[in-house]
Structure 1
């Protein structure tokens, strides 16, 4: 059922704005994999999905599915399924007939369409719900039915436009588990739009970071967190530490020390690293970069706490256990392992 999705040079500008919603964006999603498109509001994520689905026409660029340019293919014949933030189910139809809808529209006999619908309800773990009305479902169940309806059309590509953002955290976690099960059952090619970094990391094989319609970074989940392609990409992934410095002869030099700068040209550059990777109370050694500073602030972050450490003009952020005795005014050593620090240009 899955197929490669290849986007090349997509550009789209709406009449209401001079800035492009998509700006020469190219991206490849391999058959059977899931890529999460992550970016702030207004970055072009939903426009990207609408162009792929055929609901908007790009000014330039191509959309290719299974090696076929679908520019002249109408939306309903592209082999693309789409699930939105709202389920958009038909309230006058039963759950079973909602899922069977695409088959019925294509002319399949009712009995056969319903038989297939039962199979997809089982895929989304809603076996036995077919006779219910839409109004009897919870929000999470509605989204499961919407996914089943999309899968029943056997799309080559499944587009998910923030389908879980309206659900509470527990339901979202359930939906993430469901998506994993769906991928194991039918292996669709998935492009998921989300604002949530944790969601992207949980369900996707790769992450594409988008801002102002441009692709800033594309790679594995680990790459997005540990090896972003730019300072802005690091910021979008929630990295709190950015240490300015300079690259000379392949080495980055900053207030923290020296570290290899692979693939970065000589000139100004920034050392970035995750706050959860900072070691508190440990001085730097040959395998790490470090300094001594003063705790400036502390605030809770879920079950842990984030401490802000000031050392001269440099500010660093670290995460510590909630039971840590650190408090503002304490002098501490902080360090980060060399292998967890990454240099980006600029």
Structure 2
């Protein structure tokens, strides 16, 4: 053991230096891991999300109470990020009850950096906004960034200032995001379809009435005419005031309710027996999508008992795929009464009778 004090001091300095170097190495590694989680979005386009808040909800909140918008999503480099807006209408802190607090909150776990701008819509085009800013959202309990004093509560609730649209305030955020992915477009389409059908069922904003012996249905002419060439032609020559009434006979279409359900939702709840009525409606109203739907339904559960009836439907309503499947069924299945049934049931369809007879003779 050395008794030289200088030597001991030198050893201590070396040990401390090694400790510092090791700590720096660990810190550098952590810093690197932190940085690779950042989503760099310098050139990403901006998109807007707007949240409508009722005036009554604003008035009901006390100091410190917060409201959250519905969740919305952005996409950066194929990575999905979930966000919400947070509003404290009566101030977030006990010593501030006169101002509205507004923040952008990140719902994910990863670290993300983005540019954004919070704002309030104004009917006089005098928008209140916090300016374009860029923040790093760490994905933990400190995931919200914004303004404790965004705008005076009194100004927002003053109708003369233009921030109230009827009984609602429109709060928005402009944020970086790549174009919405197809899966979310499909998801949005599903939501839109449900919403439009709900409006139809409730009779809201209806400008078209379809009248038949089975009932009266309210609808929207822009939607129905987009699917039916016949309705579109009828409406193009009408100059009457809204709502426009179109009378439909049972012979023309006996199930108007199911037709509207399909036009608005792309599906029907009816049994296979009612497909006969629907395919007649689709043919007469020239709704190609419904006609294809009915043809697909008629392709199911073909039997010797319903074979001739479906042949008639395929011939009457010009369903070539169905007719081809039925012909194939005849050639591979032994229906003992098929020849007798053809002669009896197809007396009024000589062209179809000749077509099936020729097929049977050649197969």
- Shared topology, TM-score over 0.5? no
Q: Which has the higher contact order (CA 8 A, sep 6+)?
A: 1
Greater helix fraction, Structure 1 or Structure 2: 2
TM-score, length basis structure 1: 0.27
TM-score, length basis structure 2: 0.26
Greater strand fraction, Structure 1 or Structure 2: 1
